[in-house]
Amino acid sequence: MILGLVGGALLLVSGLLSWSYEPIFGDISIRFWPVSLQIFAMLLGITVLVVALSRSLLAPVIGWFSAGPALLALGIGSTAFAALSLVGVAVQAGGLINANEGVYVALVGALVTLAGGVLARPLVATRDAFTVKAPSTVEIALIAIICAVALAVAAYALGRDDAWVFVLFLVTVGVIGTGLAKAGFFGYVGAAAQRHRHVLTLGAFAAAFLFPFTQDGSEINMSIATGVLIFATTAIGLNIVVGLAGLLDLGYIAFLGAGAYVGAILSGAASSQIDWHPPFIVTALIGGLFSAFLGLIVGSPTLRVSGDYLAIVTLAFGEIFRLTMFNLDGNNGPDLTNGPNGVTAIPNLKIFGFDFGATHTVAGIELSRAANYYLLMLLLTGIFILVFARMNNSRIGRGWVAIREDERAAEAMGVNVFGLKLLAFAGGAFLAGVAGTVKAHYDTSVTPDQYQFLESAFLLAAVVLGGMGTIAGVILGAVVLKLMPEKLRFFSEYRLLLFGLLLVLMMRFRPEGLVASRRRQLEFHEDDEELAEVIEDRNLAIEEETR
């Protein structure tokens, strides 16, 4: 581990040196005053040092800490970070001539760490991290710390205006996360979270609730966060259809649009053609039920087909919905949606006297309009997650999984295949419709162009990328696909290229998704006998705990 210690020390020291002659990225030209990239390098160095020291100090005690693979992952990631930093300095400062000693020291430290990982003597973990237990107070404190760190990471990431700093920060977080995962840390955290599910749920929602209070009234950052939540809640509904029931729906955005149009038409907007303005709770229910009704209409004749044929039919439905909204303009059909102009000037929500369009001050901190809608969507997200979790763990959820695995075998075992398919379509559509009613008020306008096929593709990608059938995975996938384009606008011309490259890499190296269920891990790695044995041991451990 000598090379690991040397590499970590060099990364740590590099953060105290100058990285550029030019005052870029928060002025990284100053020595002994680390900012942005310099701090990231120091974090990587600290992580490498901890892993290197843990090989001899921690691994023999707890038995599950795999320092060798972790050091190799940190070496590869640190090298990529240092090389990308060098490119960023060259681009922003006008050439490599303007790169100072700090970035080169970081590169050398990363390469030394990589060499240490390659030459590290394999040390096989004697215990599976999933089976290790600590006192409950320690595990609860660890979960609380992880939630607090996640909140700090999200707040810092959204606050970065410089795209290079944002990208390199994500690289740093990714490298540290990968290193800890290779060491087995997240296996232990997953086990602790399984034993304290309620603590994890409360901690996650507490961190999400506190997020607006970390943005100092920033409307831009909260607008991005609210858009991410709307996208995530819609993806949770699609996860019922695709992740649980295994039905490939390429027109799901139409259900979100249906709810949005219901919310817009019943909102009291000047361009609305219906003079009835019920309370928003009633409007949300109507929007959800209308979307579910559309799901039943589409599902009844089409769910008797499957696979590629179902995908084509749902794709056609999405386009039919968009074109229908175009034609309901009073010329080609009833005057209901105002045609291509859509419903505009939608007023802000007012629920129980609370005006979501006004700025409110809580504990001396201003909550902007976007923050108000963020908190509303957070409440809806909690409800959606509860519905998804309950259905997933119910007899209905097991029926959906059986249909996804083998439809004919499920039918032979007495599962009502058609009925459960229809329920999945209608249930997912209902959740999307409710989210659409909030989206209409937040966007203040609804037009047919907002609900194109590309949006359905991104929703499906969020489910697949995050991990089909999981809650945390879908939310993480939605965050990645919605946040990245917003923060990397200078890559706008290459957005689809980067998106496609990301999917190719994911399908190659982690086809089960970022956060995958154990069942799907085995499906995609059925030849991995070691993984099968580990998962079997974990299942036995869980069964023993429940007894």
From CA 343, how far away is CA 96, in angstroms rounded?
53
**Cα separations in angstroms, 254 against 212, 238, 319, 429, 540:** 30, 12, 8, 9, 43
Token representation of residue 468: 């089909």
pLDDT of residue 466: 85
pLDDT digits (tens, 9 = 90+) for 409-440: 888 888 888 899 999 999 999 999 999 999 99
List of long-range contacts for 392-396, beta carbons under 8 Å, 24+ apart = 392/244, 392/469, 396/420, 396/423
- Return the sign of the alpha-carbon dihedral for residues 242, 456, 273, 355: positive
Q: What are phi and psi of 356, to 5 degrees?
A: -75, -10
Nearest partner of 157 among 95, 69, 149, judged by Cα? 149
More confident residue, 226 or 329: 226
Q: Is the pLDDT of residue 187 over 80?
A: no
Q: How many CB atoms neighbour CB 36 within 10 A?
A: 21
Nearest partner of 544 among 130, 57, 59, judged by Cα? 130
From CA 136, how far away is CA 121, in angstroms rounded?
34
From CA 447, how far away is CA 342, in angstroms rounded?
4
* Beta partners for residue 181, in sequence order: none
Token representation of residue 50: 């901890």
pLDDT of residue 524: 60
Which amino acid is located at 319 in the chain? E
pLDDT digits (tens, 9 = 90+) for 45-75: 999 998 888 766 665 555 556 777 888 999 9
**Cα separations in angstroms, 458 against 245, 394, 464:** 19, 28, 10
pLDDT of residue 536: 57
Q: Tell me the percentage of the chain whose pLDDT exceeds 90.
A: 41
Q: How many CB atoms neighbour CB 66 within 10 A?
A: 21
Q: Is the pLDDT of residue 546 over 50?
A: no
Task: Give the domains, in start order, of the chain with CATH numbers.
Answer: 2-209 (no CATH), 218-494 (1.10.3470)
Q: Is the pLDDT of residue 125 over 80?
A: no
Burial of 37 (0-12, 13-18, 19+ CB in 10 A): buried
Q: Which residues contact 105 (CB under 8 A, 6 or more apart)?
A: 10, 13, 14, 17
From CA 212, how far away is CA 207, in angstroms rounded?
10
Q: Is the pLDDT of residue 268 over 70?
A: yes
* 243 neighbors 472 (Cβ within 8 angstroms): no
pLDDT digits (tens, 9 = 90+) for 285-338: 999 999 999 999 888 887 777 777 888 888 999 999 999 998 888 787 788 888
More confident residue, 78 or 163: 78
pLDDT digits (tens, 9 = 90+) for 439-480: 999 999 999 998 988 888 889 888 888 888 888 888 888 888
* 252 neighbors 428 (Cβ within 8 angstroms): yes
pLDDT of residue 321: 92
Q: Is the pLDDT of residue 547 over 80?
A: no
63: alpha, beta or left? (left if phi > 0; alpha if psi -120 to 50): left
pLDDT of residue 214: 87
pLDDT of residue 520: 62
Distance between first and last Cα of the chain? 42
Q: Tell me the percentage of the chain whose pLDDT exceeds 70.
A: 89
Q: Beta 350-351 vs 365-367: how paired, if at all?
A: unpaired
* Beta partners for residue 258, in sequence order: none
Nearest partner of 206 among 253, 264, 145, judged by Cα? 145
Q: Lowest-pLDDT range, 350-364, 378-392, 514-528?
A: 514-528
More confident residue, 522 or 501: 501
More confident residue, 543 or 491: 491
From CA 32, how far away is CA 103, in angstroms rounded?
14
Q: Which contiguous run of DSSP H or E holds residue 366?
A: strand 365-367
